[in-house]
Amino acid sequence: MTKTVSVVMPCLNEKETIGICVENARKSLELNDLPGEVIVAENGSTDGSRQIALDKGAIVVDVKEKGYGSAYLGGLGSANGDYIIIADSDDTYDFFEIPKFIKKLNEGYEFVNGNRFGNLWSFKTLPVIHRYFGAIVLSSFLNIFFWTGLTDAHCGMRGITKEALKKMGLKCTGMEFASEMLIKAKRAKLKTTEVEIKYNPRSEGSKLNPIQDGIRHIKTILKFYFNRID
């Protein structure tokens, strides 16, 4: 039986890139004969992003509660696919690489993480502080407490089965959602792997605050480790 695919992306004021992301995601599904849908989790944009997404053929889910995790929780809650691919809507991830994730899911893996570090050009495109603190340091910190076996713990492009998603019980509403996914994938004993992907620099610069967001990730990891959070 052919599996259906939901591509879910969060969006907050991404008018310059949301259109091409939706367009490329839909083309990728079509070119690879993957039946599915593209869902944009709209988190309160005021720049016209919502209408652009609709015009490009996306299903738009309005999420009132602010936050990266909140947007994903809203989008994932509306996903109908057997397989779910998540990625940011800032055109840093290549949606034509979706088949890499689908291939692994078809092989029986339940959670597939992207790996930006395997591609030297992609690694160099990350801002220095994101490259060494936001990526390498935080990935290492996560693996000290929860050995995931994954290289790039904060890659924003991932694939998961719908059934595996149900087992995880995701709750985090901020950027720490990325760490929560890996921790709960580990706790749920999901069959996990990673695939090398490309990463493009964000044209307008990153919206992330690597120090502030990094501290939130560290606090979340410690809370999970000491069982102070579900």
Type and span of the H or E element at 161: strand 158-161
pLDDT at 216 (0 to 100)? 84
Q: Which amino acid is at 208?
A: L
- Dump the DSSP string for 164-176: HHHHH-----STT
pLDDT at 217 (0 to 100)? 83
Q: How many residues does the chain have?
A: 230
| Global confidence as pTM | 0.91
Q: What are phi and psi of 161, to 5 degrees?
A: -80, 155
pLDDT at 120 (0 to 100)? 46
Query: What is the DSSP pairing of strand 158-161 with strand 111-115?
Result: antiparallel
pLDDT at 230 (0 to 100)? 76
- Cα-Cα-Cα-Cα dihedral of 60, 155, 93, 113, to 10°? -90
Q: How remote is the C-alpha of 206 from its chain's centroid?
A: 15
Type and span of the H or E element at 217: helix 210-225
pLDDT at 127 (0 to 100)? 54
pLDDT at 121 (0 to 100)? 45
What are the per-10-residue average pLDDT scores of the chain (230 residues)? 94 98 98 98 98 98 97 98 98 97 98 81 52 66 90 91 97 94 96 94 61 82 87
pLDDT at 81 (0 to 100)? 98
Type and span of the H or E element at 225: helix 210-225
Vertex 70: Cα angle to 66 and 75 (nearest 5) = 120
Q: What are phi and psi of 136, to 5 degrees?
A: -65, -50
- Token pair 């694939």 is at which residue? 159
